[in-house]
Structure formats: C-alpha cells, structure tokens
Structure 1
Amino acid sequence: MDNGDGYFGEGVAATYDQSSAEMFDSSAVLPVVEVLAELAGDGRALELGIGTGRIALPLAARGVPVHGIDLSRAMTARLRAKPGGDAIGVTIGDFATTRVDGAFSVAYLVFNTINNLTTQDAQVDCFRNAAAHLSPGGCFVVEVGVPALRRLPPGQRIVPMYATPTHWAFDTYDTATQELSSNYVEVTGDRSSYRSIPFRYVWPSELDLMARLAGLRLRSRWSDWTGEPFTHESEQHVSVWEKPAG
C-alpha cells in the first residue's frame, strides 16, 4: 500500500488507465455522462473517488461544473496532467467524510467505488456525506456490482477473474463479514509480484437502507446506464436516490 494514497498510490496510478482500458472506451463512458448530465441540469456535480478523471473530464466537457474528492494524490495527478484536468477542482481526502463548499445537483460513485469503503459504518457515512452536499431535489448515484455469491459452490470462497501463463487474478469472499478482496499475481521473467485490495460488498437493499438513514429515497434502479430493468439476473445496478425537495 502506497503511503498516504491508500491502495491507489503511484504503483496503481501509473497503469490504471491502461489496466481498465475497456472502461475508458466511449461506449462505456458516454452513457454514464448522459445520465449524470441530465441529473445535473444547470447545477454542479460532485464525484466521490474522482481518480484519473474517466467520467469527470467528459462530464465537464459537456458544460457541467465538476468537483471531486479523492484520497489518492497519485491518481489525481494523472487527472491534472490530462487536457482540461487543471480546470476541475479536487479535494484530497476520504470521500466518506470530507466536505467541500457549495451545493450540488448530483453526487456520484461509479465503477464499484462504494466497495472501497471497507466497513458498513464508512458506507453509511458516505451516504450521509453525499446527502449533505446535495441541494433539495438533488440525486446521489451509485454504480456497483451485485455480489457474485451465486458463483460460489458450497465451501468455496474464491472466484477467479482471469488466468494467463503470467497473470492470475481472483476475488476472495467472506460471507460472514461481507469482506471481499481482489488479488493479482504477475510473473515477469524470474520475478513475481502479488497485490491484494480489500473491499466490502454490499446489497441493493442494504444501500437503500443507508439512503433512508441519510434522508434520501430511491428514485430509480437499472441494470446499466442505458436504463435496462434491474432483475434477479442483473450482475450490477445503477441506483439513483433523491433528496426530498421539501
């Protein structure tokens, strides 16, 4: 773990865009930007876990003022180095508790980032923090996977992600604590490396309760950013909670 940057320090930041290249493709980015731009309207957007600017930069290019919160200076340095990155305000800190000035029409957490908060208390705090930043009628949006426990046979805790002659990746689940870790092994020549990142998986119904505790109510839930219905077969969901206007 890189000092001060959590699990997303220089070692991860240097190759993040390349290792997640499919998520930077326009087919993955544009539907997200369309939804967030519509929710933002004439207001501002707050990205929790802004990272290298995958969503913030194209959203800002649509004319939506964007501010971000992120713990990793290494990740946000990559954002700053991109065209338009120096025009986006970023506050360094834990997005579960860090406050910034002003009110926002939409706050959002994408690409499973809610799972980077590894306790239920931190996830509850995040909902409260998002709600505190929203204007009345504003929305909090979360994109996150549905826990893949259906893929676990009895007695098994590991779900492989991919395996090649030089790279292995697998997730490890603890159903008693909802702890999840993503683990990566890489072999280069006669050297090998191992990296493990902890997460906490969370259910849609649990997120709804967190939203209620923060004074938010569910407006919409889809299986993806195009608005496809959320069903028992959905592997992820995009959920929108609204802060009452009254």
Structure 2
Amino acid sequence: MAATQSGTNHIASANAYAYPASTVHVAMTGAKTSINHKVVFLTFDDGVNTSMSPRVLATLKQYGVHATFFIVGNTINSTTAPVLKQEYESGHGIAIHSFTHPYNFNAPGNSGGAIREYYQTLSAMRNVLGPKFDSKVWRYPGGHMSWRGLAASDANLSAEGITWMDWNAAVGDALGASGPKTAAAMLQYHAKTLVSFPQSNVEVVLIHDSVGKELSLQILPQIIDYYKQHGYQFGILS
C-alpha cells in the first residue's frame, strides 16, 4: 500500500520528482526559477476511464516514468474509482480539469464557475482518495491560452492557492478533424510545438487519455524516449 500524505496530490514517495505548479508556470515563460535542469511533465487530460487510462498507466510503468493526470470530475464514479486510485498510488500527480468540461468560464456572470467546478471535482476525488487528499493544480478546458476574459476567474483560483496550468508542448490530439492522422504526423506536430513557445528548462506536454485516443497511446513510448534521449528528468505537477 502506497504511503499517502495529507494536503498534496500525490503519494509520499513522489516528493522526489514533484514540482510546484506555480514554479513550473513561471518557468514556462522562459524566466529563471529554482528549476535549473531539464524536466518534462507529461500531462493527460479528460480522464478518468476504464479503457484508455489503464493502458496509459501500463505504458508509463513499463518505461519507469510518471505523469500528471488532469481529471474531469464527472468521470469519477464507482466504475472508474479504482483507476483513479491506481493513478494516485502509482506515484502520479492528480490535477483538476473542471467537473463538466465546459468552455464558458469567461462568460459574463460566470467568474465563479471555475472555482465551483474545482471544488466539485475535489470532493469527488476525496470520496475515492480520502478526505486529506488535496490538489491545487487546475487546467481550464481548452487551456487558458484559448480564452480572453478569465481575469476574475483566475483571481478566484489564486485566492485559494490554485495554479492554472497550460502547456508548451503537445501531440495534437485535441484538434479533432484538423489534427494529425498518423503516428509520424503526430510526432512531427510535437516537434513543431517544441520551437513554438519560449525556450525553457521545462516542457509541459499536453496529451489526452480520453476514450479513443489510440494514436496518442501508440506514440507515447516514442515521446518518452525522445525526452530520455535529450536528458530530461520526468516530473509531476504539485
């Protein structure tokens, strides 16, 4: 049984490779931070489920690396709870990706929507992982970079000590019909994103473990190998 700890989004043994999301957030801009070596954060959005999430977990275990799972709260139920527990107990980070995955947190009058859905998801997570579990890492559906008018929502999150996290690398599996259709195209898309953002010691990679993301799973070993070959350590967001 993994040793849990109060007030965090990961087990105690993950302390060795857990980094404050607030520090990573700053490092992604290219600014100097306490992170003075190369670290990659594999992040998986839109789980949890019983078809894709366990297969992603198996691949991560096979390659001996850890990731951060951004969970949509309404996916947590009695069927998926064991998978969420496995993610946590395997030493991965557990983060929050809203409760219903809407795209309207910047809508007039909805400045409280994000914090409300944050707490809905946190409550669902605590029902599975225990009342002392906590996560202060949030990702907006579509990413913060996709929207304007989030200042009030951001302020609500910040007041609770919550950091919103985007990404500075991706595999293109969120693009739907316009996205890459082959493994080679997906790897090429990933390579292109690496030069599209400010140069930094950290790479936060957007991938999805939602149902049907077979191509993302197929290239995951190659993504992992790329970062290993380029001298990156693998971290989780905390």
Normalising by the residue count of structure 2, what TM-score does the alignment of the two structures yield? 0.28
Structure of greater Rg: 1
More helix by share: 2
More strand by share: 1
